Homo-oligomer: A and B are copies of this chain.
Amino acid sequence: MKALGRHILVEYFGCDRKVLNNLDSIKRFMDEAAIRSGATIVDNVFHLFNPHGVSGVVVIAESHLAIHTWPEYGYAAVDLFTCGETVDPWKAFEFLKEKLGSNHSTTMEMKRGQIEGVKVLRHKPEIVVDELSELEVPVEV
């Protein structure tokens, strides 16, 4: 692995405006998107603005998924930032595109955390069993 994480910036256009303004739906879809991508949800925060628009973030063990909606424009800005080989942010992308009803989207994928001088780059520490105590301990870098 040459970078710690992958970050997809998504612009969803032509979305269903009622969905974009529904806090419960957006929260549910973002949580489900995290699960479908293989991520582990740690916490989340969602907010409905006055007079409209939803913002929310799902913090995952592997970074975060974020959304900001503009129902008046049928537009949602989404970030899918994940780490590790077992998480696939593109699954979150496909799921959200369908649920938001977006008829056109653009994406840009970025590598995050390209660390030099490390032989094996681990997005989370390797845990080994300490032979004496039989407890799991992190490998010291």
The reply to whether B47 and A59 form a contact with Cβ atoms under 8 Å apart is yes
> A45–B64 Cα gap in the complex (Å)?
11
> From A76, which residue of chain B is reached at the shortest CB distance?
B113
CA distance A61 to B53 in the complex (A): 10
Number of copies: 2
Say whether A73 contacts B112, CB under 8 Å: no
Stretch at the interface among A4-12, A31-39, A88-96: A4-12
A11 touches B112 (CB 8 A): yes
**When the two chains form their complex, are residues A75 and B113 in contact, meaning their CB atoms are under 8 A apart?**
yes
Whether A51 contacts B9 by the Cβ 8 Å rule is no
Q: Is A97 an interface residue (CB 8 A)?
A: no
Contact check, A64 vs B68: say whether CB atoms are below 8 A apart: yes
Distance in angstroms between the alpha carbons of A44 and B66 in the assembled complex: 13
Q: Is the CB of B115 within 8 A of A73?
A: yes
Q: Are A59 and B52 in contact (CB under 8 A)?
A: no
* Contact between chains at A51 and B138 (CB < 8 Å): yes
Could you jot down 29 A-B contacts, CB within 8 Å? A4-B73, A4-B75, A4-B77, A5-B68, A7-B9, A7-B77, A9-B112, A11-B113, A11-B114, A13-B115, A42-B47, A42-B55, A44-B45, A49-B124, A53-B124, A55-B63, A57-B59, A57-B64, A63-B68, A66-B79, A66-B81, A68-B81, A73-B113, A73-B115, A73-B118, A75-B115, A77-B113, A79-B81, A108-B110
